[in-house]
Structure 1
Amino acid sequence: MRNLYISILFFCILIFCSAQKKASEQFLKTQKELTDKLAEISKTASFNGFGVALVNDQKVLYQNGFGTAGLNPFQKYDEHTVQNIASVSKTLIGIAVLKAQELGKLKLDDPINPYLPFKVINPNYPDIPITIRQLTTHTSSINDNNEYLTRTVVLKDTVNLAENLKIDISPTKFNSPSSKISIEEFLNRVLSEKGQWYSKDVFLDKKPGELYNYSNIGATLAALVLEKATGMSYADFTTKYILKPLKMNDSGWNFNTINFSKYTRTFIDKQKPYPYYSLNTYPDGGMLTTSDDMSKYLLELMKGYFGNGSLLSKESFKEYFTPQLKAENFQDRSNSEYSDEYNMGITMGFGSTGNFGHTGGDPGMNSVIWFFKDRKMGRYLIVNTDWDNKASGKDQKAIYDLLDEYFLKLDAISRAEKHEK
């Protein structure tokens, strides 16, 4: 009888292993189908290179890169190609601030000035303090004025400097490498009454907390508050508490922290690259990462939304994903399903249907992360070429249609595998 039980158990194990192998083979086959179809799009796309990632609430379903990262010499764009992700970077500010709150270093509703080495006061409402929460929800009344816009983008080197400084990237502009300064010095010069670039138009004639006004400089100020509250640079804090725990080993905040040989050029068009550049206000848009690493980040955000994240407590993730604003906080409110400015969490944007994500754009690139809560789906797309209004939207839709189609297939296989286990 004992031998019979052993035989039955062995037979069951064989069946289980066979089913698992079949499911895994089907998963890989489906991934390959998606790869082949995206590769076809890359042959005629209006952008040189692009990266994608796809997750459900349990695992990374897909990540890859396609097309060209460099022309001379040729460099392929793949899932390990490093690229700046622009304003999608801001989503890390919210996680970092909430982690600092968990560590007892600050509180969201704290006024910012006790943390800062210089005063930041809206001259129109000098008695109303600006809070950390307002910085992270773009309601601080701090405005991206011309001084901010024209001084933050800095060229990496002096190669063809005179020519590169003339490139039109309105409303911003390139600055020489010698213009590189810390976020503290930059913010001091722009926001402090005694700062050499200070102008009253860096503040709106609105009370702090009253009006939603998307503010890059306000987001960077939240990162500086975190630095002063924790005694760590923003780059070091986010590396310790976000990048390393998620094993985002190919990501960083400056060229010295990533494998520069894998860094993509960004392009004016399919023939002409931009010079390499970085940002003085790097927390608001200077994250350098890969599609592979972003897939890990998307998975953590999706898990966090459903109460299973590892970076923050359930309570902190709930705060992060809670829309913070009311109708009266908006003047010209975007009602688009895919706009990330219908409402705001703690730096995470919400569309009008309650789905959430963030978009980004800088010279030669566009990026977007977007999460569909009911489908438990998260997707990422980044391109390394200036957006062509006639063609790029069509290419983007073709990519999204494939990602949506193959999410259903990969998600079903993934959940079947888990059920069989």
Structure 2
Amino acid sequence: MKKTNKILLLLTMSLSLINLSCSTSDDAVKIDDFFDLDTELIARDFSGVVLVAQNDNILFNKAYGRKNNQENGFNDINTVFDMGSITKQFTAAGILKLEMQNELTVNDSLSKYFDAVPNDKKNITIHQLLTHSSGLVVGIGGDYETITEEAFLDQVFDSELISPVGERFNYSNIGYSLLGLIIEKVSGMDYESFLNLEIFEPSNMHHTGYIIPDWETNEVANGYLNGVENNKPNEENWSDNGPYLNLKGNGGILTRANDLLLWSQSIMNNTVLDEATTSKYLYPHFEPTNIYDSYGYGWGIENNDSENKLVLHGGTTDFFASDMWIYPNKGITIIVLSNEFKESVYTIAGAISNFLLAK
């Protein structure tokens, strides 16, 4: 499945699954307690990990299915998955960390960081890259395609805009790859090294990254498609520094559910970003988005002005699917990670959300 098609499918699913209590589809999930959730996940042959927490209390944390075809190759709560486009929230946080350090501003334009930017793109701002309002296309190549920085930039700058700059929401992976390059240019560090220093280590996320974590042999899950085992994500065509630019910065970071909970707590405790910057991070900067009520910086945002404000983002690859929902005013975090590409990650997160909000 081409990346563009996967993203369009993700958008369609997100639109229809945010309010699952109104759904009548056969795939809808309704649960009254966590026993119901466990029963439903087993019945669906779900493969992955589900973690639910409120503040510092873990309400549910269980693994299902297989991470590989070895004799004892079952998923456990510490299995590492490809988080897909959840990666974008870390790229956005990295940009805001540099702004906190007075190294850049989100109002900076592409022409400040790249040479020979064509006229139609030279005034695209970091803010517009963060909010998918740059007018750039979704992508220019496959996730694991070998591509140099020079070739990547040439293709991006030669591509036609699909809407005027700043006017419409158009989900763009290459926009976030450009943000990853800006992080490297400003910090003088490799993208992953910067995230590891400024985000992962302060948040005690020692099992998150591309190549920096010392992955154990069976720690990372293999992907599955229709029951057939495929490669681990880090067994694909990566460079010595992790994915090439069609993926780096916009997807592909590996993690486990417990690390994402630490990240949620880091956000709510202002561990990495100060309070003012966190507010900017989770602010509804652009609407309408055709996915969520609005889009912040690497996050979809629903119900911004209510007690039930929700910030969320999902991710998909050919073999993995993930979703992360945070209710910052209630301290609720819902994490669903799977090593199968299935719509159920979104229905599962939505059902948990409906159950918790109804309590």
Q: TM-score, normalised by structure 2?
A: 0.78
Q: Is 2:336 the partner of 1:381?
A: yes
> Structure 2: how far apart are the matches of 1:255 and 1:189?
29
In structure 1, C-alpha distance between the alignment counterparts of 2:188 and 2:90, rounded to whole Å: 18
Quote the offset at 1:75 in angstroms: 0.8
Report the equivalent of 2:24.
none
Distance in 1 (CA, whole Å) between partners of 2:142 and 2:39 is 37
Which residue number in structure 2 is paired with residue 51 of structure 1? 49
The alpha carbon displacement at 1:205 in A equals: 4.4
- Check the 8 A contact 2:325/2:349 in 1, yes or no: no
How far the C-alpha of 1:189 sits from its partner, in A, is 3.8
Kindly tell me: are residues 83 and 44 of structure 1, through their superposed partners in 2, closer, same or farther at Cα, counting changes over 3 Å? same
Residues 243/60 of structure 1: CA separation in 2 closer, same or farther (3 Å cut): farther
1:200-279, aligned counterparts within 5 Å?
A: 200-201=159-160, 203-206=161-164, 208-254=165-211, 257-270=214-227, 272-276=228-232, 277=236, 279=243
Higher helix share: 1
Q: Aligned partners of 1:221, 1:93: CA distance in 2, in Å?
A: 10
Aligned partner of 1:286 in structure 2 is 252
Cα 1:105–1:62 change in 2 (3 A) is farther
Contact (CA 8 Å) 2:83, 2:254: kept in 1 or not? yes
Name 2:276's counterpart in structure 1.
Answer: 315
- Once residues 212 and 136 of structure 2 are traced to their aligned partners in structure 1, the CA distance between those partners, rounded to angstroms, is 29
Task: State the 1:41 CA deviation.
Answer: 3.9
CA apart distance, 1:87? 0.4
Partner secondary structure for residue 284 of structure 1? coil
Deviation at 1:274, TM superposition (A): 2.5
| 2:5 alignment partner in structure 1 | none
Q: What is the CA deviation profile of residues 187-213 of structure 1, one whole-angstrom value per residue up to 9, with x for unaligned ones? A: 324224xxxxxx433x2241x222211
Q: Read off the aligned partner of 1:320 and give its amino acid letter.
A: Y
Q: Residue by residue, what CA displacement relative to the aligned partner does 1:48-99 show, whole Å, maximum 9, x if unpaired? A: x111222324555443322211124441111110111100110111111111
The amino acid of 2:261's aligned partner reads: S
Q: Report the CA distance shift for 1:286/1:397 in structure 2 as closer, same or farther (over 3 A).
A: closer
Give the aligned partner of residue 76 of structure 1.
Answer: 74
Amino acid aligned to 1:209:
G
Structure 2 CA distance for aligned equivalents of residues 217 and 113 of structure 1:
16
Verify the 8 A CA contact 1:63 1:295 in the aligned structure 2: no
- Give the partner amino acid of 2:125: T
The answer (yes or no) to whether the contact 2:180–2:248 under 8 Å persists in 1 is: no
Is there any run of 5+ residues in structure 1 with no aligned partner, and where?
Answer: 1-32, 155-174, 193-198, 410-421
**1:361 corresponds to:** 316
Q: Find the aligned partners of 2:300 and 2:346 in 1 and give their Cα distance.
A: 20
Distance 1:374 1:313 in 2: 17
1:60 and 1:220 mapped to 2: Cα distance?
A: 34
Give the superposition deviation at 1:381: 0.7
SS at match of 1:369: strand
Distance in 1 of aligned mates of 2:76 and 2:56: 24
Q: Is the 8 A contact 1:53 1:294 kept in 2?
A: no
Contact kept, 8 Å, 2:82 with 2:254, in 1: the verdict is yes
Q: Give 2:85's match in structure 1, choosing from 87, 103, 108.
A: 87
1:346 positional shift: 1.4
Q: Residues 228 and 66 (structure 1 numbering): CA distance in 2 closer, same or farther, change over 3 Å?
A: same
Q: Are residues 402 and 370 of structure 1, via their aligned partners in 2, closer, same or farther at CA, if it must alter by over 3 Å? A: closer
1:136 to 122, 125, 130: 130
* Alpha-carbon offset, residue 407 of structure 1: 8.8
SS of aligned partner of 2:313: strand
Q: Residues 15-164 of structure 1 correspond to what in structure 2 (within 5 A)?
A: 34=34, 40-47=39-46, 49-116=47-114, 118-121=115-118, 123=119, 125=120, 129-145=123-139, 148=140, 151-154=141-144
Cα separation, partners in 2 of 1:70 and 1:407, compared to 1, 3 Å: farther
RMSD, matched Cα = 2.8
1:319 to 1:381, Cα distance in 2 relative to 1, 3 A: same
Could you tell me how far 1:293 is from its partner in structure 2? 1.1
Q: Contact 1:138/1:215 (CA < 8 Å) preserved in 2?
A: yes
The answer to whether the 8 A contact 2:67-2:73 is kept is: yes
**Cα distance, 1:259 vs. partner?**
2.7
Kept after mapping to 1: 8 A contact 2:87/2:252: yes
Deviation string for 1:249-297 (max 9, x for gaps)?
1111238743342111111112x12334364222111110011111111
CA distance in structure 2 between the partners assigned to 1:60 and 1:237 by the alignment:
30
Secondary structure of 1:316's counterpart equals: helix
CA displacement 1:383-411 (0-9 Å, x = unmatched): 11122xxxx54x864675457657998xx
1:378 aligned counterpart, secondary structure: strand
Q: What amino acid is the match of 1:153?
A: D
User: Which sections of structure 2, spanning at least 5 residues, go unmatched?
Assistant: 1-32
Q: Report if the CA contact (8 A) 2:45-2:65 is conserved.
A: no
Matched residue type, 1:87: S
Distance 1:186 1:93, change over 3 A: farther
Return closer, same or farther for 1:91/1:108 CA change in 2, 3 Å cut-off.
same
Distance in 2 (alpha carbons) for counterparts of 1:408 and 1:242: 34
C-alpha spacing 1:45/1:140, structure 2 compared with 1 (3 Å): same
Query: Following TM superposition, by how much is the alpha carbon of 1:112 offset from its aligned partner in structure 2, in angstroms?
Result: 2.2
In structure 2, what is the Cα distance between the partners aligned to 1:144 and 1:325? 17
